[in-house]
Amino acid sequence: MQRVIKTMIENFKRKTHCFIQLMEYCRKTLDRPASRSIKRLLGYVLGFLLFYAPFALFHRAAACLLNIESNLTIHSFCLRVPTAHLLDGKIFQLNLPVISLFLLSLSAFFLGPIFCGKLCPAGALTEYLSMLVPEKYKISWADHIPVLHVRYGFFLGFILSSFLGGHLACAYCNFYTFDLLINYIPFGQITAFSSSMLLTLILWILILGVFTKGGRGYCSFFCPVGTLQNIIYILGSRILPIHGRLSIIRTRCNGCGLCLLKCPMNAMSVNDNGIAEQNMHLCILCMNCADKCPSKAIRYTIGKNEGQPDVQKF
Amino acid sequence: MCRNFKGLAFISAASLPFLANWLNGPNSGCTGICGSCGGSCLTWIAACCSLLIYRINASLFKKYKNKLQEKEGKEG
């Protein structure tokens, strides 16, 4: 009997050792730059499966778990709807837009804008499409327009105009345009695209997308979800003692500026001391900079805040 | 002066959603230039116009600044 138990324990140990080795191999493989790019792409695919019909797994799960009504359109995951319902008190009811906004804010508060950098398929679409266009045909809007002023200005107008009623925000929403692109065009329902939606499509995909350096012009200027997350991210980094954020190891950084070139949001810069700096108003934690950094000076950490973060003034 | 341009960009961007509501609202009299869009086509046109105005102003300011510097250089 003892021999049998011993053999069983040895077998278990051997299997556990194999499992640990396998896990270690997986970790090493996933830590390779090429695998990290694939991992990032898989994140966006997951985002697509979670939020967009016909899959809309997030909507289905929420409806099932909380026993609430939900349609499978992207409108259920809308920032504007809760702001519009601030006055009539519907924001205090348990519905999907409010839950979505709460989860989004919570994640941004503790972990940073990970939704934009890891899950949002609408932003990723233009970023990946822009990789197909040669750099010489792309415009760096940040060199010509004050990005942060337009970003926060549009956000303020977006929030305030919600109280005026109507659903005009949908006409310039890239989430909704993407929804139409997936669910209507393949079925021949081209009339679903109104003239304004077509203009949004051109602006989002072409002018501020494919032909913009980094491919995330729309995210930089007009995305209210991203702006809200960045505000909460900055707030979290100032208030919380432990916070998830991008940290730059100053002793390792050699100021080569490769992170500047690879950042799709133009959120990186090199300061006078020759050290890379993150602009928390724009960073979406896509970790492109960390992947491309030759000296491994950039990483995402969840830990104690070392003093006040370097939030750039604008 | 540069600060004013940034302020102009902020106000222009903030006014865009309001402009959309106003131009496409029920009392605006907009019948829709390309059918019942119910959206913000005119807003995007307005946005492009404001961007153009901003760019023209910025380039004019740059020229003015260069001229001023040249003048100061000659006097100096």
Confidence band of B1 (pLDDT split at 50, 70, 90):
very low
Q: Characterize the bridge pairing of strands A298-304 and A242-248.
A: antiparallel
Query: Does residue A286 share a domain with residue A199?
Result: no
Nearest CA in chain A to B5: A146
- In a domain, residue A18? The reply is no
Is A206 exposed, middle or buried (CB count within 10 Å of its CB: 0-12, 13-18, 19+)? middle
In order along its 314 residues, chain A shows pLDDT tens digits of 777 778 877 877 776 677 677 666 655 655 566 677 888 899 999 999 998 888 889 888 888 888 877 677 777 777 777 777 777 777 777 788 888 888 999 999 999 999 999 999 999 999 999 999 988 888 888 887 889 998 999 899 888 877 765 556 777 788 888 888 888 777 766 666 666 677 788 889 988 899 899 999 999 998 989 999 999 999 998 888 888 888 888 889 998 999 999 999 999 999 888 899 999 999 999 989 998 899 989 988 887 655 444 544 44
Residue scoring higher pLDDT (A7 or B33): A7
Nearest CA in chain B to A148: B10
| Of B13, B37, B55, Cβ closest to residue A195 | B37
> What are the residues facing A212 on neighbouring strands?
A139
> What are the residues facing A139 on neighbouring strands?
A212
**What is the three-state SS of chain A?**
CHHHHHHHHHHHHHHHHHHHHHHHHHHHHHCCHHHHHHHHHHHHHHHHHHHCCCCCHHHHHHHHHHCCCCCCCHHHHCCHHHHHCCCCCHHHCCCHHHHHHHHHHHHHHHHCCHHHHHHCHHHHHHHHHHCCCCHHHCECHHHCCCHHHHHHHHHHHHHHHHHHCCCHHHHHCHHHHHHHHHHCHHHCCHHHCCHHHHHHHHHHHHHHHHCECCCCHHHHHCCHHHHHHHHHHHHHHHHCCEEEEEEECCCCCCCCCHHHHHCCCCCEEECCCCCEEECCCCCCCCCHHHHHCCCCCEEEEEEECCCCCCCCCC
Nearest CA in chain B to A203: B44
Domain of A255, CATH number, reads: 3.30.70.20
- In a domain, residue A312? The reply is no
- In a domain, residue A292? The reply is yes
The token duo for B69 is 């510097």
Query: Does residue A244 share a domain with residue A191?
Result: no
The token duo for A23 is 């896990």
- DSSP 8-state secondary structure symbol assigned to residue B68: H
Rounded to the nearest 5°, which phi and psi values hold at A227?
-60, -45
Query: Does residue A261 share a domain with residue A126?
Result: no
Query: Does residue A130 share a domain with residue A84?
Result: yes
| Of B11, B25, B35, Cβ closest to residue A153 | B11
Contacts of B58 in chain A (CB under 8 A): 144
Query: Does residue A283 share a domain with residue A146?
Result: no
Give yes or no for a contact between B12 and A167, defined as CB atoms under 8 angstroms apart.
no
Cβ contacts of B67 within 8 Å, gap of 6 or more: none
Asked if the Cβ–Cβ distance from A168 to B44 is below 8 Å, we say no
Out of A230, A261, A296, pick the residue that ends a domain.
A230
The token duo for A225 is 């979800």
What is the number of structural domains in chain A? 2
The token duo for A153 is 């200005």
Query: Does residue A171 share a domain with residue A294?
Result: no
Give yes or no for a contact between A236 and A109, defined as CB atoms under 8 angstroms apart.
yes
- In a domain, residue A67? The reply is yes
Helix (H, G, I), strand (E, B) or coil at B27: coil
| Of B5, B39, B51, Cβ closest to residue A171 | B39
Of B9, B52, B10, B23, the residue nearest A172 (C-alpha):
B23
The token duo for B50 is 């404001």
Query: Does residue A223 share a domain with residue A104?
Result: yes
Query: Does residue A126 share a domain with residue A149?
Result: yes
pLDDT at residue B22 in the model: 66
Query: Does residue A157 share a domain with residue A195?
Result: yes
- DSSP 8-state secondary structure symbol assigned to residue B34: T
- Residues spanned by the domain of A122: 33-230
Task: Provide ipTM, 2 decimals.
Answer: 0.73
- In a domain, residue A5? The reply is no
Confidence band of B39 (pLDDT split at 50, 70, 90):
very low
Out of A181, A209, A230, pick the residue that ends a domain.
A230
Of A268, A286, A257, the residue nearest A126 (C-alpha):
A286
Q: How far apart are CA A98 and CA A104, in angstroms?
A: 10
Query: Does residue A255 share a domain with residue A130?
Result: no
Query: Does residue A268 share a domain with residue A161?
Result: no
Asked if the Cβ–Cβ distance from B18 to A203 is below 8 Å, we say no
- In a domain, residue A164? The reply is yes
Give yes or no for a contact between A168 and B40, defined as CB atoms under 8 angstroms apart.
yes
Cα A259 to Cα A131, A278, A297, distances in angstroms: 16, 10, 10
Query: Does residue A244 share a domain with residue A223?
Result: no
Asked if the Cβ–Cβ distance from A161 to B18 is below 8 Å, we say yes
Out of A170, A198, A230, pick the residue that ends a domain.
A230
The token duo for A83 is 């702001």
- In a domain, residue A249? The reply is yes
A156 touches chain B (CB under 8 A): yes
Sign, Cα dihedral of A125, A127, A130, A131: negative
**Side chain identity at A81, as an amino acid letter?**
V
The token duo for B7 is 């302020």
A211 touches chain B (CB under 8 A): no
- In a domain, residue A8? The reply is no
Give yes or no for a contact between A103 and A110, defined as CB atoms under 8 angstroms apart.
no
